[in-house]
Structure 1
Amino acid sequence: MSRSASPVGTAADSDFLLGMAAASRERDAAARARLSDAQLRTQLLCVDAARPLHVDVGFGVIAELKKLSPAEGKLDDGLDSPAEQASAYIEGGAAALSVLTEPERFAGSLDDLQAVVAVAGATPVMRKDFLVSRYQVREARLAGASGVLLIAAMLDADQLEAMLAATLELDMFALVEVFDEADLERCLPVLARAGDAVTDGRCRYLLGVNCRDLRTLQVDFSHFTRMAPLLPADIPLVAESGLTEPAQAAELAALGYRIALVGTALMRSGEPASAIAAIRKSGGAASCT
């Protein structure tokens, strides 16, 4: 497993997302060779039910665990274990935990996911990866995930619809991520056909805007403002990447975002529980105005 990251802006990162998609397809094929889809489905019959995601009044945090970032470098110095960090996130009141499982550029694994699930209790855990198949959604559920990230820029409408359906069939939630208007136009009809985003208090899917362009890895926090007028009011909105201080949560809440996905800032915080609480307080105050 490689733990080194190529510098941002090099030829290797000229289209980061294309490389991640190709690597994910290779991992998907290798996983199927070890465990067929039929075998995986059989094993899923013995797995505990997925933990529901509830989007409460106020402002929530999806707290992310990642050891390495291609843009930021190594993030887990001084961290004893993913479970230790997860426990701090839960103490801070995270609505859900996100665990990177991509091995080469983020040094993640399904083992990390399972370690976090083991200590998460009722808090749902999401697999964050560059998923390209329904098999990988089922693989996530087998490892204990209650949710998955689906990146619209990597998937055509048919692929997105099939993977979202596989997610919902397993009573998992999906965070459907868009970057630009083209992504949004492609995914909104898919989400409309999937039914309500929230039923009986349980969130089935969320719509996320990433202010990091995954083609170049550049971050632009003002991207949240530009995208906000285009976003639907009936789907919980998630602001992904770019949040570095609690005050920014108030800006996001004023734009209509109900949740922030925060990774690097929490991994680098000496007190992640307090950091999450501060983000929730800042965003929650703005949500009530």
Structure 2
Amino acid sequence: MNILQRIVERKKLRITEQKKVLSFEDIKKKALAFGNKSDYLFYKKIKRLPHEPIKLIAEIKKASPLKGILKEYDIEEMANIYVSSGADAISVITEEDFFLGNPQFLVTIKKNHPHIPVLRKDFIFDEYQVYESKLLHSDAILLIASILTKEQCKTLYELTKSLGMDVLFEIHDEEDLDKSLFAGADIIGINNRNLKTLQIDINTTFKLKKLIPEGKVIVSESGISGKSHVQELIKQGVDAILVGTSIVLSDNPAEKIKELKFS
């Protein structure tokens, strides 16, 4: 069993336990009655117009399966730095067991910064998690195509949009791309990291970008650490970058954000 399968299996166990505390019917009812209007803010903020700087989604990331704990830091303080330094959106990893995330991180950050979109980055495959994301004040959620069937992609995408949230569809190969297009994705994130081997190759973005129809918002994820990467991505017509590790591990996260965003 590879790391991706282990994460998904652990997440299934967590959801099973959550449903014993709050049933599917109850969380659905709560979400449908929830007054917060995301209004597709994430899409609006990360779509890059001609001649604009690349859009930056800065990530709150405590740990990874590969590197363990990255750095001890205060979540609220780091989010303040992200916003004041010009990040266009904040990605929040909420997976608890392998990334040491916490769903409440989302709530806290959105409460402090209501005008910046927050992305829930987790391993989502159940409608329960979509309704939960709405209650956590998410503006968008991540859907990882490789852990979903084509039908699941479409069902979860349509449910998420019906609740006023956006979807960042994460792909790594042509099969994933086919799933995202079948679902109707308007934001496609190309992950340069192979989630099965954890190897990174930024050429993945360049290869798959050529196959994506015009009119989609394109996000490049993983392995982006400096100006040369960003400049090449801009040339290729990428709208946004999602960066976590290189910002978190930087001695000066504010300067790192400015370096990446205004390359």
Equivalent position of 1:50 in the other structure: 38
Correspondence list, 1:93-132, <5 A: 93-132=86-125
Deviation readout 1:11-61 (Å, 9 max, x if unpaired): xxx622211221222122111111112211232213421261222422101
- Equivalent residue in structure 2 for 1:65, among 60, 71, 86: 60
Structure 1 residue 186: Cα displacement: 2.4
SS at match of 2:120: strand
Instruction: Name the % identity.
Output: 31
The code of the aligned residue for 1:62 comes to I
Equivalent position of 2:195 in the other structure: 214
Paired with 2:64 and 2:225, the residues of 1 have a C-alpha distance of 15
Asked if the contact 1:24/1:132 (under 8 Å) is kept, the reply is no
> Is the 2:8–2:123 Cα contact (8 Å) retained in structure 1?
yes
TM value normalised by structure 2? 0.92
Q: Which structure 1 residue ranges, 5 or more long, are not aligned?
A: 1-13, 198-205, 283-289
Aligned counterpart, 1:4? none
**How many residue pairs end up in the alignment?**
255
The 5 A counterparts of 1:1-289 are 15-44=2-31, 45-50=33-38, 52-53=41-42, 54=44, 55-57=47-49, 58=52, 59-77=54-72, 79=73, 81-191=74-184, 197=186, 206-282=187-263
Assess if the C-alpha contact under 8 Å between 2:48 and 2:240 holds in 1. Answer: no
Aligned letter for 2:57? Answer: I
C-alpha distance in 1, partners of 2:168/2:197? Answer: 21
CA-CA distance at 1:271 after TM superposition: 2.2
Call closer, same or farther: CA 1:42–1:88 in 2, change over 3 Å.
same
Q: What is the SS of the residue equivalent to 2:25? A: helix
RMSD: 1.5
* Cα separation, 1, equivalents of 2:77 and 2:218: 28
| CA shift for structure 1 position 119 | 1.5
Show CA shifts across 1:104-145 (max 9, x none): 110001122222222222001111001111110110110111
The answer to whether the 8 A contact 2:171-2:177 is kept is yes
User: What is the distance in 1 between the residues matched to 2:200 and 2:113?
Assistant: 30
Q: Give the counterpart letter for 2:116 in structure 1.
A: T
Distance 2:213 2:231 in 1: 19
Using the alignment, how far apart are the partners of 2:89 and 2:213 within structure 1? 22
What is the distance in 2 between the residues matched to 1:75 and 1:120? Answer: 24
CA contact (8 A) 1:68 1:106 kept: yes
Deviation digits for residues 179-225 of structure 1 (CA, Å, limit 9, x no counterpart): 0011112221221xx6xx3xxxxxxxx10100100011111122222
